[in-house]
Amino acid sequence: MMSRRYWIGLIISTIFLVILISQIDYKEMIQSLRDANYFYVFPGICVYFISLYFRSIRWKYLLSPFGSTTTARLYPVLLVGYLANNILPLRAGEFVRSYYLATREKISSATGLATVLVERVFDGLTLILFLFVGGLFLPLSPLVSKLSETANLHPQSIIAIVVSPFVFVFALIIFIAIKPNIFLSITRKFLMKLPRKFESTLSPLITRFINGFKGMNKPDRLFWVFLLSVPVWMAEAYMYLIIGYGFGIDNFFPNIWQYSLAMLIVVSVSNLATSIPSSQGSIGPFEVFGTIALVYLGVSNGVASAYVIILHLSLLLPVIIVGIAYMVYASLSLKQLTGDPRE
């Protein structure tokens, strides 16, 4: 029987896909798919795997207080996590990645999950910075207006919805890092209200989870995590730019400078949208917000939708194929990677 999580994700993705379908210029999209130069997809995919390597470098830095490991050992763990994100709903791959980490390194899955949360917060903050930089040179007000119209919200509410969760979680991480005992005391008061067997199971988990924020109260570590986040997203934006050439996206901008800034905005909007709970691979939110971003930067509807569809497939399918190949090589299964969370 399919889980409630699966159905929630499927419903959310379906809503976004209905929005996308209602806005697509099908004739232009099909023509764009026919005319596209798919030669650019392969180098774009190669750049994406480089961005995953940059993620492994950042993750190694985040894990350094808890044990010694290498980027080469973390890269396949990250790959398996991304594979799981692409085939499981509601970003369940984050849990798979944390559990697989615990099986390979002397680091608990709860501690690993805490570092993944830190990653996601810095991803969001970096993308918001990219939006700000792009907005200094390209008009973002039509894009914000369209997003607010689609969501039936005030433009300022859209900005608040995008920014506030990352700022709140960032502040929470800093608080936990500075005052871990206070946060642990607060959580234990809630745990005491649960049945004893749940309390005894969750208490050590929460302790290990809190331990995962070690060092996040130090400005130099915060700075380095942010600095290591920039090449992650610059590489992914470069992937977007390369594949965009195959669809003639660059022809909608007067020069390479504006085209590059546009790709920073697109990578930001489409990936911030993936924080919305949805089905496997964030199908739906990515396509809708990526297309909207391009259209309101001046790209025609059909070309934008065709490009975003191929772009998303280029992000999902190669990771699935390489991830499955690695799991076969390592004699792994997703069932094995959903073990006891107390480890």
Helix axes 219-246, 109-137, angle to 10 degrees: 60
Q: Which two tokens stand for residue 307?
A: 């490009």
**Highest mean pLDDT: which range of 171-175, 191-195, 197-201, 263-267:** 263-267
Three-state DSSP at 332 gives coil
Helix (H) or strand (E) holding 173: helix 155-178
User: In the predicted model, what is the mean pLDDT of the chain?
Assistant: 88
More reliable by pLDDT, 234 or 20: 234
Nearest Cα residue to 65 out of 202, 192, 216, 248: 216
pLDDT, tens digit (0-9, with 9 covering 90-100), for 41-78: 999 999 999 999 999 999 999 999 998 999 999 999 99
pLDDT of residue 76: 96
Q: What is the pLDDT of residues 110-167, one digit of tens each?
A: 999 999 999 999 999 999 999 989 988 887 767 666 666 666 656 566 667 778 888 8
The percent of residues in the chain predicted with pLDDT above 70, rounded, is 91
pLDDT tens profile 245-256: 999 999 999 999
Give the global pTM. 0.89
pLDDT exceeding 90 applies to what percent of the chain?
A: 57
Residue 188 has what pLDDT? 82
Helix axes of 256-273 and 285-295: crossing angle, nearest 10 degrees:
150
The set of residues, in sequence order, having a beta carbon less than 8 Å from that of 300 and lying 6+ positions away, is 25, 28, 252
CB atoms within 10 A of CB 187: 17
DSSP state of 131: H
d(CA 116, CA 96): 11
Given a cut of 50, whether residue 96 has pLDDT beyond it is: yes
pLDDT of 170 over the 70 cut = yes
Contact 314, 41 (CB under 8 A): yes
180: pLDDT strictly greater than 80: yes
Instruction: Please give the average per-residue pLDDT across 173-181, as a whole number.
Output: 89
More confidently predicted of 283 and 37: 37
Q: Copy the structure tokens of residue 117.
A: 């949360």
